Amino acid sequence: MIPPVANNFVAGEDAPAALDHVRELNADGVGAILNLLGEHYDDPAKAADDAAAYCDLVDDIADAGVDACISVKPSQLGIDVGEDVFRENLADVVARAEVRGVFVWLDMEDHTTTDATLDAFEHHVTDHAAMGVCVQANLRRTREDLERLVELPGTVRLVKGAYDPPKEVAYRGKATVNERYREELEYLFEHADHVAVGSHDPEMVGYALDLHDEYGTEFEIQMLMGVREEAQFQLAEAGYDVNQYVPYGDKWLSYFYRRVRERKENALFALRAILG
Ligand SMILES: Cc1cc2nc3c(=O)[nH]c(=O)nc-3n(C[C@H](O)[C@H](O)[C@H](O)COP(=O)(O)OP(=O)(O)OC[C@H]3O[C@@H](n4cnc5c(N)ncnc54)[C@H](O)[C@@H]3O)c2cc1C
């Protein structure tokens, strides 16, 4: 069972628990992006198991009639085993999602997987437009990737980047990455049909609202479960399209540890909960 301190960030250990959380979000006008926790498999059987679990989840979402989609990690679908394994598993998930009318996001992992992830996205999105891919503003290559992506169907989620790539391929330092984020966000609002703003940063969200006023481009705001939830509900209440990224599954410990490590307030909150 997930201890109370972790269940702020993780919706539960199985799909029914995650769907309960989705219903609560939907009641407050917030959509959900469901992510079954799991990554970096070197065993093809585990990747196939998670692909099958995602197919079941797609059915669950469609049967429940909730406002939810899925977000999958390439390394969860076997990219570390081989690009062919990843592509086959992704094809299964995308095929089921197409039949059931569920949107599929591809998360972006470390920079060594960017090409394979974007290639797989391009391969599928041409026939299945209800797809999106995450792009990291801290990578030097990102503008070139966006130029390619805005010519395709599908949606881009712009994030700052959660990995720590070498300086040869990435911009370093908070201020520089923020500047890059603003520039890429403006590029997307100017050239894409729809933009997903994946950030908790009030400055970036405010900038997205300004860009919407300037360019009129449709957009959605995406934030993680347990992070600035009040802002999520306020934005939804104000009429914006808000979607919460909702992780669930039995591999919750490392995800929770990551959330705690990235922010002092989360660590203090966890400590207080553990000490009672
Ligand atoms: C929906 C979603 C999907 C993502 N998918 C990916 C992915 O596929 N690949 C990837 O590399 N990364 C992904 N990320 C992570 C992303 O790259 C960043 O690491 C992460 O979002 C932190 O950057 P930030 O813009 O949210 O804010 P930060 O730069 O961390 O913080 C900026 C400001 O935001 C506010 N803030 C941030 N966190 C909190 C908090 N916990 N509580 C209160 N205020 C806070 C504070 O005002 C802070 O000063 C995703 C993020 C989101 C929200």
Per-residue pLDDT of the chain (276 residues; tens, 9 = 90+): 777 778 889 999 999 999 999 999 999 999 999 999 999 999 999 999 999 999 999 999 999 999 999 999 999 999 999 999 999 999 999 999 999 999 999 999 999 999 999 999 999 999 988 999 999 999 999 999 999 999 999 999 999 999 999 999 999 999 999 999 999 999 999 999 999 999 999 999 999 999 999 999 999 999 999 999 999 999 999 999 999 999 999 998 888 888 877 776 666 666 666 665
CA 262 to CA 226: how far, in whole Å? 13
* Active-site residue flag, 182: no
Nearest atom of ligand 1 to the alpha carbon of 200: 26
Q: How far is the CA of 183 from the centre of ligand 1 (A)?
A: 17
* pTM score, whole prediction: 0.96
- Report yes or no: 198 and 184 within 8 Å, Cβ to Cβ: no
The response to whether residue 104 sits with its C-beta less than 6 Å from ligand 1 reads no
Q: Provide the CATH topology of domain 15-275.
A: TIM Barrel (3.20.20)
CA 203 to CA 26: how far, in whole Å? 26
For every residue of 25-50, DSSP letters joined together read: HHHTT-EEEEEE------SHHHHHHH
